[in-house]
């Protein structure tokens, strides 16, 4: 379980966030977010939602209909490292 503040102080750039949708124990897809929609990220921040509107999942080309019960979790989408690790070469 990571708090939003802990994620932002990480060693990697944060490109954004994504929200996974699970229905009947299956991962249906995800949606990209600019800001997290909850304080606790990852598996520990899972919540059960009843969808108020239909949600289109572009990565799997599926649509979850209004009224569907889904478990959701929000995770950070990491980019490049902010620090150099052992063996990394400097850019020229």
* pLDDT tens, position by position, 63-83: 999 999 999 999 988 888 777
Is 47 within the bounds of a domain?
Answer: yes
Range of the domain at 62: 2-81
User: Would 11 be classed as within a structural domain?
Assistant: yes
> Is 90 inside a domain boundary?
no
Q: Is residue 91 part of a domain?
A: no
Which uninterrupted H or E stretch holds 72? Answer: strand 69-81
Domain assignment present for residue 92? The answer is: no
Number of domains making up the chain: 1
Query: Which residue matches tokens 């949606």?
Result: 31
Q: What is the pTM of this model?
A: 0.77
How far is residue 38's CA from residue 56's CA, in Å, rounded to a whole number?
20
pLDDT tens for each residue of 35-57: 998 988 888 899 999 999 999 99
Answer yes or no: is 87 within a domain. no
């Amino acid at each position: 379980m990571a708090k939003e503040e802990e994620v932002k102080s990480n060693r990697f750039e944060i490109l954004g966030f994504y929200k996974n949708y699970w229905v009947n124990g299956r991962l249906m897809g995800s949606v990209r977010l600019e800001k997290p929609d909850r304080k606790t990220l990852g598996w520990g921040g899972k919540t059960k939602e009843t969808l108020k509107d239909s949600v289109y999942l572009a990565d799997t080309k599926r649509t979850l209909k209004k009224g569907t019960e889904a478990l959701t979790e929000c995770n950070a989408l990491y980019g490049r490292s902010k620090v150099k690790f052992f063996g990394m070469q400097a850019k020229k």
